[in-house]
Amino acid sequence: MLATRQFATTRTTIADLPIADLVTQFGTPCYVYDLESIKQRVADLASFDVVRYAQKALSNIAILDRLRKLGAVVDAVSAGEIHRALRAGFSPNSQPVGIVYTADVFDEDALDLVVKHNIPVNVGSPDMIEQLGQRAPGRNIAMRINPGFGHGHSQKTNTGGPQSKHGIWHSQIDDCLLRADRHGLTVTGLHMHIGSGTDLEHLSKVCGAMEDACIKVGRTITTISAGGGLPVPYQANQQYVDLHQYFELWNATRNRLQHQFGHDVQLEIEPGRYLVAEAGYLICEIRSVKRMGENLFYLVNAGFNDLARPILYGAHHPISICPRSHGSKDQVDVVIGGPLCESGDIFTQSEGGFVASRKLPMADVGDWVILEVSGAYGFAMSSNYNSKFRCPEILIEDGQAKLIRQRETEADLLRLEIIP
């Protein structure tokens, strides 16, 4: 039996620290991350040779620093992410290599940085081979392959097939090898990020496509990457992925390739969400409790500027209430909304923007709402929309709450603007 998760609708602590104390110290809204959860998730993946964290999920440099100390390396998808990785102490020259740049295009900044710091590139388009080859001939590269089919929970998150913009189309591998040859680039790795974590039948198709692609490239291959896409439960009774079987499928693929090539092939995995989603909690405060027809609303002081997944994908986050005063409360159906001047600013919505309700305890202005499993694509997607200050981030480590990003101020908001 695979493990499942349950979520309580009342919560008074995070990693054993009282929420009331966290709020007193850091204010609301704020993101809190439990390092212990991240440690467990890294440990889950110990059978892979390399755990390469897709930092776009949560890119605070303190989180990157701790992941480095836990033995992970990182993926960077932009110049900014390369700067973060360097700042957090990752080296492009370590073994396994600390930073890989993965993208479908180079912007000028990113190309300059990978050339300057000798950062390995995982190319997602034939043009990238030309652009890198002209600037830095003779290097090793990896190619991200689109095997011609995908898997994803929505159109916006599907990462393979003809509708996807990602990677090099599987039938263009030969052409890309010729391009690489022309610049003396050697293809030493292949990568597929198709995100089929729970569907093992589909995963075996992905593994088969990887094997075919590797054989096409030939004996220069020394690394394969399974990409990311490992899911985590966001709702009660959802199961964790069967990591044992997931690993076994990839490991068997790797073993066949080693046999075929007669040398070692490293197996990387590249999770974002899996490592950090469950570690994160967005704490906000109820500022209004109001009724609109048959709907009861709790309006809180966090909005989609803080957590965009519900408005972007209709994503479901577990939600709990932390009451200021004790005593059990009846459950009611409620809609949770934020402060933004936009009607889509609702945390309880389904895909397509339909307002939904949630059974939660009765609560009052001043009680706290906790948006759970929000560590991945939470703060990382936050914005200054409505000129809101981005909220602080706090890391709980060894029973201590440590500030890892300050709440933005008016000075931060206005720093780059000019009245000419």
Residues known to be catalytic: 341
Smallest Cα–Cα separation from 251: which of 101, 68, 46? 46
Residue pair 188/222 in contact (Cβ under 8 Å)? The answer is yes
Residue type, 392: P
Q: 92 or 272: whose CB is closer to ligand PLP?
A: 272
In the numeric block, the tokens 């204010």 are attached to: 27
Residue pair 49/96 in contact (Cβ under 8 Å)? The answer is yes
Q: 57 or 404: whose CB is closer to ligand PLP?
A: 57
The CB-of-124 to ligand PLP minimum distance in angstroms stands at 8
Q: 272 or 323: whose CB is closer to ligand PLP?
A: 272
**d(Cα 378, Cα 345) in Å, to the nearest integer?**
15
Q: 272 or 303: whose CB is closer to ligand PLP?
A: 272
The CB-of-13 to ligand PLP minimum distance in angstroms stands at 27
Other beta carbons within 10 angstroms of residue 213's beta carbon come to 20
Residue pair 356/335 in contact (Cβ under 8 Å)? The answer is yes
Q: 96 or 361: whose CB is closer to ligand PLP?
A: 96
The CB-of-145 to ligand PLP minimum distance in angstroms stands at 12
The CB-of-186 to ligand PLP minimum distance in angstroms stands at 21
The CB-of-58 to ligand PLP minimum distance in angstroms stands at 9
Smallest Cα–Cα separation from 99: which of 113, 181, 217? 113
Q: Which residues pair with 54 in a beta bridge?
A: 75
Q: Which residues bind ligand PLP (CB under 6 A)?
A: 54, 56-57, 75, 77, 102, 193, 195, 227-230, 270-274, 376
In the numeric block, the tokens 């005593």 are attached to: 327
**CA 7-10-11 angle, 5° bins:** 85
